[in-house]
Amino acid sequence: MKPSESLYWIRAGLGAAVGGLTALYDYAVNIPKASTDLNDLFTGLAFAFIFFIITYYILKIWYLNKFEKRSKMITTGIGTYFLLWIVVWVLLHTIIG
């Protein structure tokens, strides 16, 4: 498997995992339903973005010399990461809530 393919699938799995963590966090905090859902959205976006940045630096160590450009490593799988994050988060938030 090429490094770009493995990075893509790692990011896909991480997106789903972070979506699950975000849903569990929302459940654990037990935000009253009278509050706006905009707060949930900003909290979830912050989780997703922070975990993406953290995992970028961790994966950067693994894939140090396998990509020609640094920008290629950042953009590989970013769409899949955020798409799976939002799908899993909304699905689990709906099931749990």
pLDDT digits (tens, 9 = 90+) for 12-44: 999 999 999 998 888 887 655 545 566 778 888
**Distance, CA of 96 to CA of 20 (rounded, Å):** 11
Q: Name every residue whose Cβ is closer than 8 Å to that of residue 56 and which is 6 or more positions away in sequence.
A: 73, 74
% of the chain beyond a pLDDT of 70: 89
Average pLDDT score over the chain = 87
Q: What is the pLDDT of residue 8?
A: 94
pTM of the model: 0.85
pLDDT of 18: 95
Nearest partner of 19 among 96, 97, 93, judged by Cα? 93
